[in-house]
Structure formats: C-alpha cells, structure tokens
Structure 1
Amino acid sequence: MAGLPQAIIATVHAGARALRDGDPRRAESLLLQACQQAANHPEPLRYLAIVQLQTRRPALAQASLQQALHIRPDDAQLHSDLGSAQAALGDIDAALASWQHATTLDPKHAMAWFNLGRNHQQLGDTNAAIAALSQGVALAPQALPPRILLGDALVHAGRFDEAAQHYRAALALHPACGDAWRGLSNIKTVALTETDASALRTQLQRRESADTDKVAMGHALGKLEEDRGQHSAALAAFSAANALQHRLTPWSAGAFTHFVEQALAVSQQLPAPVDPRLGEEVIFIVGLPRSGSTLFEQILAAHPDVEGASELPDLGIVLQQESQRRGMPYPQWVPQASAQDWQRLGQAYLQRTARWRKHRPRMTDKQPDNWKHAGILRAMLPGATVIETRRDPLETAWSCFKQQFYSQPHFANTLADIATYMQRCQRAMERFRERDPARIHLHHYEALLDTPEPQIRALLAHCGLAFDPVCLAFHQSPRSVRTASAAQVRQPLRATAARALAYGALLNPLLTLLEMTSPML
C-alpha cells in the first residue's frame, strides 16, 4: 500500500479485520470507501476482490482485479488473485494461465506456485503438479498445505518413498497433522512403525488436537494395528474415528433412501434419445467405493484408445446446474425433461470433459457415486458404457468403514449406514441394468483375480474395445492414479487375503446388518 495516505491504509486494515472477524458487509463497505478515496491504487481493489470471492461473487471479484491490473499490469499478486477468481468462475484454463504468469513475474511467489500445482493435480496433470508444488515447498518450507499436496502428487505418480519423506517432514512441523498421517497410511504397501503407533496414541490423547486431525489419526492407527494382526485394537481405532466423524457430519439414511426411490421412479420412462450414439466416447465405472473400481480403470486405461480420467465431478455438476436453472432439485425435474433437454445436458458433459479425449478417443469416468445417475444415462448419454464393479459384500463394507473419505457427510461412518447404502446401490443398479442391458454391465472383483485374461477380454468387449495384451500388464502403466488405491494397482494381479475375515467374530455385527438390511426399495 505504498503511496497511500495513512487514513486510507487504516480503512483498508479495518476492512480486512472486519472480514477476518466474520463481518463481510462491514468489510465491503469500508473497502468500497477506500477504493473511492484511492481510485488510482490497486490494493484497495484487491482487498475488495477478496471480500467478493469469500462471499461467492467471483464475477465481481474478477472485475475488481481486472480494474486493479489496469493500474498495475505487472503485479504478480494481482494475477495470482485473478487466477483464484477465474477458477471460482469455472474458467480453469484462464486461471492456470494467470497463476503461471504470476510465477513468471515473481518466481518467488509461493502462493501462485501452490495454486498452480494444486489445480494441475486436480486436473490429473501430476508431473506439472509436482514441479509447481516443489517450488512452493522450497519457497515456504514451513507451510503444511504445499508439502502435503506434493506428497499426494508423488503418491499418485507412484513415487512412494519421496511422498513419505514429505509427509514425515510435515509431521516434524506439526505432529498431529491428520493429512500427513492419512497420506502415510494410504501408502498401503508400506507399514507404519511402532514409533508411529506411539506418536499416534500420544497425539490422539492431546486435547489440543483438532477433531478432524483425530479422525485421520484414528484411521491411521487402525491401519497400523491391522497390519500388525491386532484386530481388536484396529476395530477400536476405526470405530472411534468413525464415531467422531459421524458426530461432526451425520449422514441421513432416510434422505438417501428417499432419493434413490425417486431416482428409480422418475427414470423408468424416458424419451428416446435424439442421437443414440451420443457419449459413446465415455466409459463410466460406478458402484461402491473400495469395490475394485480403480483396478478396473487401470486395466482400461492401459488400452491405447482409453484415457483414465479417474473420479470426475462433471456429471453431478451438470445435473446440479440444471437443477439451479429449473429451480427444482434433481431428480424431481426428470419427468419434465425432453429429449432435446437430455441432448443438451449430454453435450454439456462432453464439453466439460473434452480435455480427457485430446490424446485418446475414449475416456473413463470413475466417480463411484455416478451409479445414482445411471438410470438417466440412456437419455442423456445413450452411447456411453457403464461398468458396475462389485466385490465381496463383507470385504467391501469393512474396507469402506476403515477408509477415511473426504466428501462429508458420508455413509461409511457407521456399519448400519454402510449396510443400507450397499443394499440400495445393488438393487438400484439391478433395476437400471434391466432397463438398459446393452450398456450397463456388471463385473466382479473376485472373478478378475481368479481368471484375469478372460475377465479382461470380457471387460474390453463390453466397452467396444479390441483386446490388447498391454491391458494384462496394466500395473506397468505410468499414468497418475489419484485414489486411495494408488499403490495397490501398481502391482500385478494376485489373489489377496480376505482382510475382513481375519477379524472373525469381531465383525459379526456387520455380517448381521448385511444379512438383515432390507433389499426392497
């Protein structure tokens, strides 16, 4: 704020404090006043843009920042903030360009490197993410977020030892860092140590540890105890972590069941598609989390015609935007949608995901939750293939219970909710498959392990792909894998021990729930 009168500087500071203290209206009023009093200085405009961004008005923030850039076009901080506004508006290419330009103007701008790396990672460009985040870590070695995200990116690239080094460096800075413990624990091919067990127990007992960190540390301790064969202790750790998460973000089984019933009812009768081939580039992989979906995607992504896009939010976003346009929640508006509406929505999805088909003609979308929308795909993307993956119910349920999920509230925080979710998913998918048998196919994880080549041939055939022996060596693929199964899918197929069965009678309550939960919808 060099060159500004002290009175205006004080007004800007007062506006910043008001925003910090949770009073955005007062903050905006003060900053508008400062902007009027200092029309030729960019900094009050930048602070105003921050208020506009935090109050979810990115278009106004972008305009404020562009006005500031007219005054000072080579300001790296302004370009970095402009990238944040552009990203909030959904213009990720422009955002990446702004952050890249900021790093060119000021190579020591750590936040611009962080934003650049974080968004490259979200887009699946792991090598670019590693390069940018490495710069962020070098410039701000005491900051946790760039170091954690760099560890995540290295995991996705299969560089597990380097990733572990960054997670442990984060723990040296903050021993209760849940994200670091989560990262170490998710490298499932490397066991944690007795020293780690002691550190986890110490941090879990500290009152100062945040609840969110305790959830992550509880899952890490459970994984550690399971690896050591201490199943009773593992169950206790996982249960405590999930109970805490459930208190923080309770999930409603009733609301979920109502949603699924609606989705089944309204998708029973749909208009014939305008273009029956629309979406034939897309292979959706759906079903329960932890059911082998990452493995199936890794096999498909090894094929020279398929790009593995991992878990994309785009289908849900397109439907959410249509709900906002209609002023009615999905799936209530489904009976009102015409064939032309579905064609428009399908084209919107394909436009949003076009970047995944730049180098290969086909793509996978491995968002497990997309099973909830499988019923409307025969109208929206009638040419798409849907692969449902299933695994032994007990193993799937237990694997969900012991995995920390980021989207909250989540069904996997109680055993009863897991059983309800699994039953509803299975029955709904059976109905959807009956309605669209040519496009929706069921594949079993255990069958793939037992007879890999015949199952892989069938998988490729269902997707309209010619057999290629490279798919048998899927574990050698250099692609980024951005899920909790990143380590496992880089290994050859082999029969694995049933981890849930090792718990014996400890999991009888879960078995009972799986047997008792009504499959009827």
Structure 2
Amino acid sequence: MSKTRAALEQARGALAGNRPDLARACLTRSFDELVADVQAAAMAGDLASAAGDYRLANRFFDSVLTREPNLVGVRFNRAATARFLGELESAEKDYDAVIAVDPADSEAWLNRSHLRRQTSVRNHIAQIETALGGDHPAWQHRMRLLYALAKEREDLGHVAQAFAALDAATKLRRCHLDYDIDDDLAALAAIRSTFTSSTLASMGEGFSGAAPIFVLGLPRSGTTLVERILEAHPDVVSGGEMSAFARALEHCAKASGFRGGGKHALIPFSKTLDPVMLGEFYHALASAGRDPSLHIIDKLPLNYLYIGLIAKALPRARIVHVHKPPLAVGWGMFKTLFVQGYPFSYDQVELGRYIAAFHRLMDHWSRELPGRIHHVFYDDLVRDPTTGIRELVAACGLDWNEDCLSPHKGSTANTSHSAAQIREPIHTRGLSGWRDFAPYLEPMRKAMLAEGLVTE
C-alpha cells in the first residue's frame, strides 16, 4: 500500500472511530505526500473537512485547483469550507465559477444567495428566474432555485414575490416527504407524561465528571449566536451540532436490553437506564479529541427532547434554551431548506402545531426541573447584549470575559445555516422582518391560535 493510500485509510479510520483529532493529525503529517497526487489531495480535502479542519481542507483544495481548475466538485467543496470560515467573497467567487461550468448545480445557486444580503444593484434574481424557465427534470433542482429566489426577493423587500417563490418551494418539498405530524406530536406528549418530577427524582444521579453546556431550542431561534458568545470564552470549546446524546442513548438502551420498536417504545424504556452509564458514554463521545479541561458546547437543537435524561445523566451540565416569538421562529424555519430533519417545517399548519407542542414540552421541563434551564430571549439579548451576555455567562458557571461581547470577531468555523450572518456584530435588524410577511402566515398563526399558543 502506498504512503498516500495508507494516510487516507488511516484518516478514514480515525473518523469512523470518532477521533477527528487523529484524522487531522494524520492528514497534516502526510500533507506533502497527499498533495503530490490530485485525486489524493481532493479526497484528503474532503476528509479534513469531515474532521472539522476547514483551513487544512482548503489547502488541499487549493493544491488541486491550481492544477485542475475545472474540477467543479472540488471548487464547490472549497466554496463550502470558505463559507464555514467566513471567507464569503472567496466562497461567492467559487460558487460563481461552479454555476458557470455547471448551471444545473442548484445547491451552488442556493448557497450563493445566502452568502450576503442581496441589493438592488447586486443580486442574481434575473439569473435565477432564467434558470427556472429551463427544463431540468429534477424537482430538487427547481425547489432549490425557488428557495434562492425567495431569499433574494426578501432581501430586496419584494414581499409578495418572495412569498410566492417560497410557497411554491415548500409545497414542492412537502409533497415529496412521507411524514406524519401526529406521530411526532404523540412522541412529544409521551415524553411529557413519562418524565415527571417523581420519575426524574427516582432515577438517581448520573456522571459528575463532565460539565458540558447544552444550547438548544427550535432551529432559527438564535442558538448559533448564543453558541458563538460562549465559544468566545477561553474556558469553552464548541462541538457544534453533535448527535452524541442521541447516540449515547441508543447505545445504552441496547446495552440494557432494548429490543427496538421505534421512538414510542424507547421513550418509556429510557427512564429505566442507568444515568451514570448514559452520562459516561455521552462524555466519551463528546470529549473525544478535545481538551478535557474545557466546557464543551453541544448545540444540537433537538436535544430539547432529552432534557430530562440530560439533567439526570449529567448533573453538572448547563442547559440554555433560546427563545424567539412563535411566529418569528416559525417564519425563520418555514423559509429554511434543512439538509435533514424538521419535516414539519414545510407546511404552515404542521409547523404551527409542532411549535405549540414544543412550547408545551419546554414548559413541562421548566416545571419539572426548576432551576435547571437558563432561558435566553433572543429579542432581549440583541437589544441589550451586555446585560444578556453577562447573565448567560454567569448562568453557565463561567468567569466573566470581555471577549464574549464580540462573538463576531471569533475565527472558528461554523457550519450552521447562520454561517454567513454570524460574521456581523450583534444587531436588531432582523427582529421585525417576519412582520412584513404576517398576512401570508395566517395558516400558521391560526394553527397556533387553535393550540392556545398565541392570542388574537
């Protein structure tokens, strides 16, 4: 086996073993050998990206594109890593080049539209509308172009045209989903009825050797901003949107005799798990390759499903819930094309019902676990960042650090839907944007009204 192939296999093995740090070390150590071959360098760039080292990934991609500038797949990947790093102009140039060579790459169109706020003198609306007039057979292609058009129309204040494009895009996405909202709502209700204060008290205490910070809430609620604020602290490192707790839960359930049956069987079974085993296994997954002296941020929004188990398995964990007004967060989700998950977000009525059920669940956790959840109201945070950030830092058990006031200055990568916006200072610009679309959000509002979440 050649040195380059051996290095690639070693990096893949490290990633498969949940050791991205070892993958990064291997790729760095073998850099010169790997860049000598274009194909190996391209694969190494993908592996470095998967390991979370986007600067290393871009070094590999740069080496490829200097020799083979028309490899659009590599150029697309370099654009993505540049976006994660906040190098937005470089990302836009690469997306432009990808689209010029392959106009059918609708992901490039959509990602490019989200890189910046479009203006009347600098936008891609005419290009997108021309592309929509083509005859590409894939529904996904048309859907992404419609999302891109909606984003750019919204930036320019073209409310009716933006919503028309978005409405078409979401309907296209929803009709290709096999999803039952009632199944999800039943699961949320089952979590509430299973994890009562008496049940939680009977579970005993878990693993006290870790103090992670869980930042959670609905997507588009401001969790990324809170993550960046905390990540600016020298005693904190972010693990991003980790699936570590769900994986730990699955592992411990199987080890404890769970024989399957889906989430409706797992919910009641999970209250029988040993909280020490669950906490230890979570910590092993979350901390692998990271400095054990630092607090690790776990920013997976869906961790709101597991707050009861988190509180018992990790008694020193800090839990931060980020809020926005229901219609504001609903609008943010409705206009987002998620890579995976959140299938309820493509239909206004389903979205309204889910958000109401989410609020019932969070009210339940706050009632059953008094004092365990620190609530951050996004609107208050951005209107008075100094006060809100000081309260947040204290609630997470951290000493005060001035760097937390300037999260936009952070140089770490971010892969969320907010990867472009977080490079700006904290602002209030987007607080009322959803109100422009309020007349079009009546189905969502009425669904929330029927659930008692909003009033007339």
Q: Do Structure 1 and Structure 2 share a fold, with TM-score over 0.5?
A: yes
Q: TM-score, normalised by structure 1?
A: 0.78
The amino acid that maps onto 2:53 is D
Query: Paired residue for 1:230, among 158, 168, 191?
Result: 158
Specify which of 233, 239, 252 is matched with residue 167 of structure 2.
Answer: 239
Give yes or no for contact 2:75–2:94 (8 Å, CA) kept in 1: yes
The answer to whether the 8 Å contact 2:117/2:155 transfers is no
Match of 2:330 among 371, 382, 397: 397
Q: Which residue of 1 aligns with 2:398?
A: 465
Match of 1:501 among 408, 424, 435: 435
1:319 corresponds to 2:249: yes
CA distance in 1, matches of 2:13, 2:290: 27
- Supply the AA of the counterpart residue of 1:441: H
Asked if the contact 2:22/2:289 (under 8 Å) is kept, the reply is: no
Determine the C-alpha separation between the residues in 2 that align with 1:452 and 1:86.
Answer: 40
Distance 1:86 1:107 in 2: 20
What residue number does 1:257 align with? 185
Alignment deviations for residues 12-52 of structure 1 (CA, whole Å, 9 cap, x no partner): xxxxxxxxxxxxxxxxxxxxxxxxxxxxxxxxxxxxxxxxx
Partner of 1:288: 218
Number of equivalences: 447
- Residue 375 of structure 1 aligns with which residue? 308
1: CA distance, partners of 2:341 / 2:335: 15
The code of the aligned residue for 1:74 comes to S
Tell me if the contact between 2:393 and 2:399 (Cα under 8 Å) persists in the aligned partners.
yes
Equivalences for residues 344-359 of structure 1 within 5 A: 344-355=277-288, 357-358=290-291
Instruction: Give, in whole Å, the separation in 2 of the partners of 1:162 and 1:155.
Output: 8
Task: Give the deviation of 1:423 after TM superposition.
Answer: 1.1
Question: Which of structures 1 and 2 has the larger relative contact order (alpha carbons within 8 angstroms, sep 6+)?
Answer: 2
Task: Report the CA distance between 1:225 and its aligned residue.
Answer: 0.9
**Aligned amino acid, residue 214 of structure 2:** F
Aligned equivalent of 1:435? 368
Which amino acid in structure 1 is aligned with residue 278 of structure 2?
L
> Which string of whole-angstrom CA distances, capped at 9 and with x for unpartnered residues, describes residues 253-272 of structure 1?
11111221222233221344
Shift of residue 323, structure 1, vs aligned partner: 4.5
Q: Deviation at 1:350?
A: 1.1
User: What corresponds to 1:200 in structure 2?
Assistant: 128
Q: Distance in 2 between matches of 1:77 and 1:433?
A: 52
Distance 1:408 1:504 in 2: 25
Q: Which residue of 2 aligns with 1:279?
A: 210
CA deviation string 1:57-113 (max 9, x = no partner)? xxxxxxxxxxxxxxxx22644654665466456565565567667765453434433
- Find the residue that maps to 2:82 and give its secondary structure: helix
SS of residue in 2 equivalent to 1:260: helix
Hey, what's the Cα distance between the residues in 1 that align with 2:207 and 2:25? 37
Mapped partners of 2:438, 2:206: distance in 1: 52
- Report if aligned partners of 2:34, 2:44 keep a CA contact under 8 Å in 1: no
Instruction: Tell me, yes or no, if the aligned pair for 2:83 and 2:419 is still in contact at 8 Å.
Output: yes
Residue identity in the other structure for 2:208 = R
CA distance 1:273–1:210, shift in 2 (3 Å):
same
Question: Contact 1:156 / 1:480 at 8 angstroms: preserved in 2?
Answer: yes
Deviation at 1:155, TM superposition (A): 1.5
Q: Which runs of 5+ in 1 are unaligned?
A: 1-72
Q: Identify the match of residue 475 of structure 1 among 389, 408, 414.
A: 408
Query: Which secondary structure state, in structure 2, belongs to the residue aligned with residue 389 of structure 1?
Result: strand
Structure 1 residue 277 displacement after superposition: 2.8
TM-superposition CA deviations, 1:457-508 (whole Å, max 9, x none):
1111111112222211222122222212122222222222411111242333
Cα distance in 1 for partners of 2:368, 2:187 equals: 19
Q: How has the CA–CA distance of structure 1 residues 439 and 133 changed in structure 2, closer, same or farther, with 3 Å as cutoff?
A: farther
Tell me the distance in 1 between the aligned counterparts of 2:3 and 2:232. 44
Instruction: Give the drift of 1:306.
Output: 1.1
Output the amino acid matched with 2:224.
Answer: T
Deviation at 1:378, TM superposition (A): 1.7
Residue by residue over 1:199-233, the C-alpha shift from the partner in whole angstroms, topping out at 9 and shown as x without a partner, is 21222232225322222211110011111221111
User: Structure 1 stretch 485-494 or stretch 443-452: which is displaced more?
Assistant: 485-494
TM-score of the pair, normalised by structure 2: 0.88
Segment of structure 1 superposing worse, 238-247 or 409-418: 409-418
Measured in 1, the distance between the counterparts of 2:289 and 2:110 equals 28
Q: Distance in 1 between matches of 2:289 and 2:366?
A: 27
Q: Structure 1 168/376 Cα, relative in aligned 2: closer, same or farther at 3 Å?
A: same
Cα deviation for residue 330 of structure 1 reads: 4.3
Tell me which structure has the larger Cα radius of gyration: 1
- Asked whether 1:363 is paired with 2:296, we answer yes
Which has the higher mean CA deviation after the structures are superposed, 457-466 or 121-130? Answer: 121-130
**2:85 paired residue among 143, 157, 160:** 157
Q: CA 1:454/1:89 → structure 2, altered by over 3 Å: closer, same or farther?
A: closer
Q: Which residue of 29, 32, 35 maps to 1:107?
A: 35
The superposition leaves residues 435-475 of structure 1 with CA deviations (integer Å, 9 ceiling, x where unpaired) of: 22232121100111222211111111111112222211222
